[in-house]
Amino acid sequence: MNKGISFTQAFYTLLKRDLQIAIRHKGDIFNPLLFFILVVTLFPLGIGPEPQVLSRVAPGIIWVAALLASMLSLERLFKADFVDGSLEQMLLSPQPLSLMVLAKVLAHWILTGVPLILVAPLLAVLLHLEDNSYGALMATLALGTPVLSLLGAIGVALTVGLRKGGVLLSLLILPLYIPVLIFATSAIDAAGLNLPYSGHLAIIGAMLVGSLILAPFAIGASLRVSTN
Amino acid sequence: MQFDSLTDFLNMGGYAFYVWLSYGITVFSLATLIFFSVRQKRKILIEISKKMQREERLKANRSNQ
Amino acid sequence: MVEEKTATTLVSADSLTCIREERILFDELSFHIQAGEIVQIEGPNGAGKTSLLRILAGLSRPYAGETRYKGEDITRCRDEYNDDLLYLGHLAGVKSELTAEENLNFNLRISGYDDFNTNDILAKVNLSGFEEALAGHLSAGQHRRTALARLWHTNCKVWLLDEPFTAIDKKGVEELEHLFLRHAENGGCVIMTTHQDMGIIGDDILRKIRLDYRFI
Amino acid sequence: MWKWLHSYADPQRAYNLSGTLLPWFATLAIAFIGVGSVWGLLFAPVDYQQGDSYRIIFIHVPAASMSMSAYMAMATSAFIGLVWQIKSADWAAAAIAPIGAVVTFIALITGAAWGKPMWGTWWVWDARLTSELVLLFLYLGVISLYASFEDKVLAARAAGILAIVGVINIPIIKYSVEWWNSLHQPATIKITEKSSMAPEMLYPLLINIFGFGLMIGAITLVRFRAEILARNGMRPWVRELAKAEGVK
């Protein structure tokens, strides 16, 4: 019986398990996506169908809807593990906690973030987004949604032990999403005006790197408090 | 002294509403905060002493049995 | 405190204090657990048995005092301690969306093992033929056994078990008791809570730590 | 190196120490705010552009700057609590949060009341007001997280983590809001131009900033003491105090 601690083995085992569970539980993938699509289609009904107006507000609408969808889907990130005791096992495993947390967040992003990015161009068509902006839309979503998942996971980890965490969660994490929202939407705006937007992307990329490094520790510490 | 009379002072050069609104809300919210913060301590001590009395009764009950 | 550190002391509690809902569950609790001991924490409901076990595992932080592993505070040697610790709470992390085999496979892999045969281990807990069944469809006892299966493939010295016999039939309890005895003989220790009487582990072997329900 | 911190972590010592400090903070705070406000309202010269409406500055700017500092103080003590596992520091952080929220609220309201005569509207998405608003949300998040946990020892730890996460984000949020503001709203009147301020205006302002800081300190001490008592209800020294209070 030998015990070799391999970080990559732990990471992939956890990643694989989470993906496996999600595939058997398809609702968790599709519900946030449907929510995203529905919210976006409500806007033209609310503000009128004029293409000029819609294309002006399209980046904001898509991104705000993405923030909300990401937040909604995150709510269940640690819940099941908390309820059935797997979270305790994770905290007591000899593998570094931040690594396992990262695997869980990555699994979650693959399941909810990636479909969202893939659907976004279709919704942009509905909202008459400027033709030049599609690249920027995809790029900002690709760089920005992992940041949302990482930051959101901190809030989820803090509220996982509480009975009604839903509304509280939005209060905790939506303010933290503001910088991503600002830079992402203005990158799309800049692209629409044929201006360079690589600076915006660089800043979002920096946020991604920063949250990749720091968020796992915060999530781990929060989980230790929540399971206490 | 920048103002000639009390009415002049209260009038704040025509901006009375905004200036006194600001100062009023500030004083009111700080006073509320201080009031509740100071009351907190007394409330907690009373709660603890009530709990102590409950425990006394519990103990008395148990020793009677 | 008592500093009788012997070479075989695995886990010790140093003046642990636990407070829940403004109630002191236990105060200044100290003990040492040696290799080879089987310890039962006993006491009425609400006395803090599970709390003590969680503090010993490092899941909960005591209000005061510390848990030591081989003489060192566990918050300072968490990795070493976790490497040598097997904790099963009353919810033991069995995913109902996964099969018994997948559950066991995951639990062992995440603990760092990669040389095992899940079918053999599941056979030892009488789950042969249920390897492919989703854990959610298993009975309470089989569910519990899926979690307990890890005990048959581990080299952790310290076992912390919260109500391990719940939903397990008489024969299963006996098998577990034999396993505990073997584990103790091999230099491990078992710390558990249970309300069930044990047939094989007699009072001469079993050490008891009693927690009383306190009103203050 | 940090051993001295632990000696102040003992609840009873912290309680007594903050009791000794409290009268000093309270007296000085009243004195400073009194002098600063009277000076500002009565003696400071009229602003040639904004008239007497600028006198709101003597509470708006202290409240705004102290709302940030209070957050920093909260996060610092949460950090101490987290790293050195000192419960008193967690409690201090929990004690500061509501005070910070009230001060931020004051900064927002006075900002709006100043904006109306200056900009003709109660609210503009000015960089300072927007980041104050976000700061208020951050405070409210910490407060409601603290309120949601039943076990207050855990509550203080959770709120502490959130405060630390918030403090890392504040500079990013502030920077992004300022950048966003410059993008969308060029050339609004900046409501505070500190550099061009006459000393007769600056002194009462500085006195009030200092006074606000002391006042926050004083209220923190009051709440901190109450927090210590609430968390140590089973300790004999608290029970003595409760006995004395409860009989009345």
Q: What is the pLDDT of residues A28-84, one digit of tens each?
A: 778 889 999 999 999 999 998 899 999 999 999 999 999 999 998 888 889 888 988
Residue D219, class by beta-carbon neighbours within 10 Å (0-12 exposed, 13-18 middle, 19+ buried)? buried
| CATH at C66 | 3.40.50.300
Specify the long-range contacts of residues C67-75, CB closer than 8 Å, at least 24 apart.
C67/C11, C67/C12, C67/C13, C67/C14, C67/C16, C68/C11, C68/C12, C68/C13, C68/C14, C69/C10, C69/C11, C69/C158, C70/C9, C70/C10, C71/C5, C71/C9, C71/C12, C75/D85
| Residue C47 domain flag | yes
pLDDT tens for each residue of A118-172: 999 999 999 999 988 999 999 999 999 999 999 999 999 999 988 877 789 999 9
**Is-contact D197 D45, C-beta < 8 A?**
no
**Is-contact A41 A122, C-beta < 8 A?**
no
Q: pLDDT at position C71, please?
A: 85
Q: How far is CA D52 from CA A216, B3, B6, B27, D178, in A?
A: 51, 11, 15, 19, 28
pLDDT tens for each residue of C2-16: 445 556 788 999 888
- Size of chain C, expressed as the number of residues it contains: 216
Instruction: Report CA torsion sign: A52, A54, A60, A62.
Output: negative
Q: pLDDT at position D211, please?
A: 95
Q: Considering only alpha carbons, which residue of chain D is nearest residue A220?
A: D161
Query: How many domains is chain D partitioned into structurally?
Result: 1
pLDDT tens for each residue of A181-191: 999 999 999 99
B55 vs C contacts (CB less than 8 Å): 215-216
Give how far B33 is from chain C: nearest CA, Å: 26
Residue D119, class by beta-carbon neighbours within 10 Å (0-12 exposed, 13-18 middle, 19+ buried)? middle
CA-angle at D244, arms to D243 and D248, nearest 5°: 100
| Distance, CA of A148 to CA of A36 (rounded, Å) | 15
D190 closest CA partner among D198, D178, D173, D180:
D178
Strand C72-73 and strand C9-20: pairing? Answer: unpaired
Q: How far is CA D47 from CA C134, D51, D53, in A?
A: 77, 5, 8
Q: pLDDT at position A138, please?
A: 95
Containing structural domain, residue C216: 1-78+193-216
Give the 3-state DSSP-derived string for chain C, with helices as H, strands as E and coil as C.
CCCCCCCCEEEEEEEEEEEECCEEEEEEEEEEEECCCEEEEECCCCCCHHHHHHHHHCCCCCCEEEEEECCEECCCCHHHHHHCEEEECCCCCCCCCCEHHHHHHHHHHHCCECCCCHHHHHHHCCCCCCCCCEHHHCCHHHHHHHHHHHHHCCCCCEEEEECCCCCCCHHHHHHHHHHHHHHHHCCCEEEEECCCCCCCCCCCCEEEEECCCCCC
Interface contact flag, C22 B59, Cβ < 8 Å:
no
Encoded tokens for C75:
């918050």
Query: How many domains is chain C partitioned into structurally?
Result: 1
| Residue C57 domain flag | yes
pLDDT tens for each residue of C74-130: 888 888 898 899 999 888 788 888 898 999 989 888 888 888 888 888 888 888 888
Q: pLDDT at position A75, please?
A: 83
Q: pLDDT at position C92, please?
A: 77
Interface confidence, given as ipTM, is: 0.90
Return the exposure string of C31-61: e unless at least 16 CB atoms fall within 10 Å of the residue's CB, then b: ebbbbbbbbbbbbeeebbbbbbbbbbbbbbb
| Distance, CA of C102 to CA of C94 (rounded, Å) | 10
| Residue D239 domain flag | no
Q: Assess whether pLDDT exceeds 70 at residue C216.
A: no
- Distance from the first to the final alpha carbon of chain B: 78
Q: Is B42 on the interface with D (CB under 8 A)?
A: yes
Q: Is D183 on the interface with A (CB under 8 A)?
A: yes
Encoded tokens for A167:
């509304």
Q: pLDDT at position D8, please?
A: 66
Q: Considering only alpha carbons, which residue of chain C is nearest residue A23?
A: C97
Q: pLDDT at position D222, please?
A: 95
Q: Assess whether pLDDT exceeds 90 at residue B35.
A: yes
Encoded tokens for C166:
């719940």
Q: pLDDT at position A8, please?
A: 86
Interface contact flag, A207 D134, Cβ < 8 Å:
no
Task: For chain A, list residues whose CB is within 8 angstroms of any CB belonging to chain D.
Answer: 154-155, 158-159, 161-162, 164-165, 168, 171-172, 174-176, 178-179, 182-183, 186, 207, 214, 218, 221-222, 225-226, 228
Mean pLDDT of C126-151: 87
Whose structure tokens read 């920063």? A210
Positions in chain D whose pLDDT score sits under 50: 1, 186-189, 191
pLDDT tens for each residue of C166-191: 888 888 888 899 999 999 998 889 99
The residue that leads in pLDDT, C211 or D209, is: D209
Interface contact flag, D134 A228, Cβ < 8 Å:
no
Encoded tokens for C206:
């079993």
Q: Assess whether pLDDT exceeds 80 at residue C145.
A: yes
Q: How far is CA B52 from CA A12, A72, B56, D15, D241, in A?
A: 54, 45, 6, 21, 12
| Distance, CA of A39 to CA of C103 (rounded, Å) | 38
D–A touching, 3+ CB–CB pairs within 8 Å: yes
C118 closest CA partner among C133, C103, C97, C137:
C103
| Residue D7 domain flag | no
| Residue C167 domain flag | no
Rg (CA), chain B: 26
Q: pLDDT at position D3, please?
A: 56
| Residue C123 domain flag | no
Containing structural domain, residue D143: 19-233
Q: pLDDT at position D189, please?
A: 47
Give how far A100 is from chain C: nearest CA, Å: 9
Of the ranges A62-66, A71-75, C69-73, C133-137, the best mean pLDDT one: A62-66
> Cβ of A217: how many Cβ atoms within 10 Å?
14
Phi and psi of A164, rounded to 5°? Answer: -115, 90
